[in-house]
């Protein structure tokens, strides 16, 4: 074996199957063997380098973004739980509306509209967090039995920075309660503010 040692050339480790790795050497000398790197080994090394290069650049920003999404979802869940408790305590089915308000139908007491949340972040591109917050609350409220929830399509017309007339909006949509709020993202932190309002009295509940 010692006589062949000068002609053994180290090719490094190679994964052969199911994670099994072997140390590979190449035997060649003048008139014997092939000094070229085997094609399979060359492809394996290229693939490993390419995969390593592709993964590293995108791995860093994924976790902060997912962390923010989780924070938004948890905030939405907490708000919906609070709203759910409130509506379960409500008694009666409808609220009579005076004729002078121009509405002939009665408004269900257990009814709500979630208005578009305001984006207070400096970067307006973060508006998807704001829209996501509204969507999550709407989807969860829709699961509460006997609660009338106005669709997202109907409330999007009220996406504005101007001051809203909540009583007028509630009468138009036929609801007794309105939710409005804001979302502010600062670096990797999210601040969510939401208010449940009795549209008849403009009282914060």
Indicate whether 22 and 95 sit together in one domain. no
Q: How many residues make up the chain in this entry?
A: 205
Per-residue confidence (pLDDT) for residue 54, from 0 to 100: 43
Indicate whether 54 and 13 sit together in one domain. yes
Indicate whether 193 and 170 sit together in one domain. yes
Q: Which parts of the chain register pLDDT below 50?
A: 1-2, 50-64, 66, 70, 98-104
Indicate whether 167 and 87 sit together in one domain. yes
Indicate whether 50 and 100 sit together in one domain. no
Per-residue confidence (pLDDT) for residue 61, from 0 to 100: 40
d(CA 175, CA 110): 8
Indicate whether 17 and 110 sit together in one domain. no
Per-residue confidence (pLDDT) for residue 57, from 0 to 100: 40
Indicate whether 12 and 99 sit together in one domain. no
Last residue of a domain, one of 37, 58, 79: 58
Indicate whether 75 and 117 sit together in one domain. yes
Last residue of a domain, one of 39, 58, 77: 58
Indicate whether 36 and 75 sit together in one domain. no
Residue 190 CA to chain centroid, in angstroms?
12
Per-residue confidence (pLDDT) for residue 100, from 0 to 100: 43
Indicate whether 89 and 33 sit together in one domain. no
| Cβ-based neighbours of 154, under 8 Å, separated by 6 or more | 113, 173
The parent domain of residue 73 ranges over: 63-204
The domain total for the chain is 2
CATH code, 138:
3.40.50
Inter-residue contact 177 to 169 (CB < 8 Å): no
| Cβ-based neighbours of 94, under 8 Å, separated by 6 or more | 106, 107, 108, 109
- What are the helix (H) ranges across the chain? 39-88, 127-141, 152-155, 166-173
Indicate whether 44 and 69 sit together in one domain. no
Indicate whether 19 and 97 sit together in one domain. no
């Amino acid at each position: 074996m010692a006589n062949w040692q000068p002609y053994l050339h180290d090719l490094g480790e190679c994964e052969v199957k199911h994670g099994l790795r072997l140390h590979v050497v190449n035997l060649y000398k003048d008139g014997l063997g092939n000094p070229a790197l085997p094609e399979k080994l060359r492809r394996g090394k290229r693939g490993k380098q390419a995969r390593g290069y592709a993964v590293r650049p995108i791995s860093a920003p994924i976790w902060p973004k997912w962390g923010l999404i989780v924070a938004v979802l948890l905030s939405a869940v907490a708000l919906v739980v609070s709203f759910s408790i409130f509506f379960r305590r409500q008694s009666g089915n409808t609220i009579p509306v005076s004729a002078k308000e121009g509405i002939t139908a009665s408004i269900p007491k257990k009814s709500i509209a979630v208005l578009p949340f305001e984006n207070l972040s400096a970067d307006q591109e973060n508006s998807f967090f704001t829209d996501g917050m509204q969507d999550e609350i709407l989807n969860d409220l829709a699961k509460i039995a006997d609660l009338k929830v106005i669709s997202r399509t109907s409330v999007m017309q009220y996406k504005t920075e101007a001051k809203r007339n909540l009583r007028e909006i509630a009468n138009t949509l036929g609801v007794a309660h309105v939710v409005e709020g804001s979302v502010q993202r600062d670096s990797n932190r999210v601040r969510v503010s939401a208010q449940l309002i009795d549209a008849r009295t403009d009282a914060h509940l």
